[in-house]
Structure 1
Amino acid sequence: MDTSTITSELTQNIPGAPALEAGSTTGQPIDLSAMHAVYSDMGWLIAERFSSLEDRQRVFELIELGMRSGDPKLKHAVSTGLIEAMISRTGAQPARWRQISAQLGPLSAAYIHG
């Protein structure tokens, strides 16, 4: 699964998630800072709306696919954007973080503990 497909599916499964302008539509590569900002917003929203995510399992499958991706921009956006935003948002809520971290796949969990 490619970067734009993962990003598109995540935005569809996270209510309120901002869309990322796909580079393929303009012929330009996706800007890393824009990608990081969108993924940070998604991580924040996941932490905020964790209990109400309709397809939570799919969201965390997509996060893990991003961590397995051969695209270094996507891996960076998922790890330092999305995952770290979830950690930051749940900092004062350890019970919420335990719920969220229990859903992480092996590569995502390894990033946190690495």
Structure 2
Amino acid sequence: MIIRQALFEGTIHAGQEDAFKSYIAEKLMPLWLAFPGVREVRVLHSVERDEGAPAIAMVLSTAYDDREALARALDSPVRYESREVTKGLLAMFDGHIHHHVFELAQA
């Protein structure tokens, strides 16, 4: 299984935390769940971190069967639609987003 994570490194604007979470739940989650081939979508909101660790406000984690399924999802119209909708989320956020792709180890 392939896991792709988007790390939102930075901070949510003060007082916008609830609006940030609502925007994700109402506008973005339906789009992320519509990515072709997606097996799982998880949104992780930061609660605390080690002293000195970078601020990660949120992590979007998506799972796919393989790299080909991920490639199809990343090339899909719904992905481009979600990128446009994400601009509204970024209006409540200071920082940058970086993506990482992992292979899930099988136990």
Higher helix share: 1
Same fold (TM over 0.5): no
- Structure of higher CA gyration radius: 2
- Higher RCO (C-alpha under 8 Å, 6+ residues apart): 2
TM-score interval for Structure 1 and Structure 2 normalised by the shorter chain: 0.3 to 0.5
Higher strand share: 2
**Which TM-score applies when normalising by structure 2?**
0.39
